[in-house]
Structure 1
Amino acid sequence: MKKIILALTGASGMPYGLELIRQIKKQDFELHLILSDAARMVLDLEAPGHEQVLSLADHVFSQDQLGAPASSGSFFHQGMIVCPCSMASLAAIANGLGNNLVHRAADVCLKEKRPLILVPRETPLNRIHLENMLKAHDCGATILPPCPGFYHGPQSMDDLIKHITGRILDALGIENNLFKRWEGV
């Protein structure tokens, strides 16, 4: 079975992460979910009742479980998404710090040349944020800020969330029809 790693960190934007869980499971992937301590706090604020969605994951790990499969390059998977990606996690990933499972699993993706999609949710951005994004990009990560398009005529918040979710899945080469694609004018 194909495997995806999804890490939720302590930035705002949990509806994106929860929709990713739903969509990855619809695609019949084995989902390895990593939750940072800060993500658990933000989930409680932004997504009360999130436990049902989290239960869709095949495996759930805390940031402290450094012995999890995702911490090793011998664990084969199709890619990792960090969504939402806090600026602290981005900085740790960009600078090769492996002090928790989120950072270590991302570092493994970079060293093994596996897809790593970082979805930073912060605004405005300072120079440090931008430099860390560039550093992570130069190491092989895809930086995909959750900036929805409007050409598909969104009618609801759900449409905007699905647009970004679809773009993230696109970046991993996972087919989806979560939003109307641009067909030209």
Structure 2
Amino acid sequence: MSVERVVVGISGASGAALGARIVERLAALPAIETHLVVSDAARRTLDLECPPGTLARLTGLAHRHHPVGDVGASIASGSFPVRGMIVAPCSMQTLSAIATGRTDTLLTRAADVQLKERRRLVLLARETPLHLGHLRNMVAVTEMGAIVTPPVPAFYHCPRSVEEIVDHIAARAIDLLALPHAPLAKSWEG
């Protein structure tokens, strides 16, 4: 069984639990090597929105935690093969940087690499309401090949808690990478 590498970026938008749950779900999958990069703003959001010690726990679950300022890290190069990348949550600042090719942090550089190498880049864009600039940036990254998937809950499986909603959104994001496993998210059955 070959190992699949996945990059997870957590940016500073509200919804840090989404990125945390994605790292947890990936850690539970066989033959997945997770590379984590967390923006400075995300560190603050993780502290505000998640239980104490969450970042330390996530760095322990990831195969490798890359400092956001290390633009020379392995995940900054197209020669480092990965299956794809998920940015969850994806702030509008991060979305804008990706849309305009601004690669001044490892998170945005790694996302840029996914686009140039024609790999999957899943962006859980987190903002509401949206103005025209947000929408244009979403169109721009979509035209470049990214998958914009706002973390909108599915209610057809009748979630009973916020944790179930977060888990389903995380599973759907992972499923968009088309990893070699059964889909994680519960599907609509009609």
- Report the TM-score when normalising by structure 1: 0.96
59, 67, 76: which is aligned to 1:71? 76
Aligned-pair CA distance for 1:176: 5.0
Query: How many residues matched?
Result: 184
Q: Tell me the distance in 1 between the aligned counterparts of 2:150 and 2:108.
A: 18
| TM superposition shift of 1:152 | 0.5
1:4-42 CA-to-partner distances (Å, cap 9, x unmatched) read 000000000011111101110111311100011101010
Which amino acid in 2 is paired with 1:169? I
* 1:160 Cα deviation after fit: 0.4
Secondary structure of residue in 1 paired with 2:61: coil
Q: Distance in 2 between matches of 1:176 and 1:81?
A: 18
The match for 1:34 among 32, 37, 60 is 37
- Given that residues 37 and 62 in structure 1 are in contact (C-alpha distance below 8 angstroms), is that contact kept between their aligned partners in structure 2? no
Question: Shift of the alpha carbon at 1:166?
Answer: 1.4
- Aligned residues of 2:175 and 2:185 also touching (Cα < 8 A): no
Tell me the distance in 2 between the aligned counterparts of 1:43 and 1:151.
29
CA–CA separation in structure 1 for the residues paired with 2:182 and 2:148 = 20
- Residue-by-residue CA offset, 1:24-61 (whole Å, 9 max, x unaligned): 01113111000111010101000132022331111111
- In structure 1, what is the Cα distance between the partners aligned to 2:101 and 2:86? 17
**What residue is the counterpart of 2:187 in the other structure?**
181
State the identity as a percent. 43
> Which residue of 84, 94, 97 maps to 1:92?
97
Q: Which shifted more, 50-59 or 155-164? A: 50-59
Pair 1:44-2:50 in alignment: no
Kindly provide the amino acid, as one letter, of the partner of residue 45 in structure 2: V
CA distance in 1, matches of 2:111, 2:121: 7
1-structure distance, mates of 2:12, 2:159: 27
User: Unaligned regions of 5+ residues in structure 2, if any?
Assistant: none
For residue 55 of structure 1, give the secondary structure of its aligned residue in structure 2: helix
The root-mean-square deviation of aligned C-alpha atoms, in Å, is 1.2
Separation (CA, whole Å) in 1 of partners of 2:40 and 2:11: 8
The whole-number CA distance in structure 2 between the counterparts of 1:46 and 1:33 is: 18
TM-score, normalised with respect to structure 2:
0.93
In terms of mean alpha carbon deviation, does 65-74 or 46-55 score higher? 46-55
Matched, 1:104 2:109: yes
TM-aligned CA deviation for residue 141 of structure 1 = 0.2
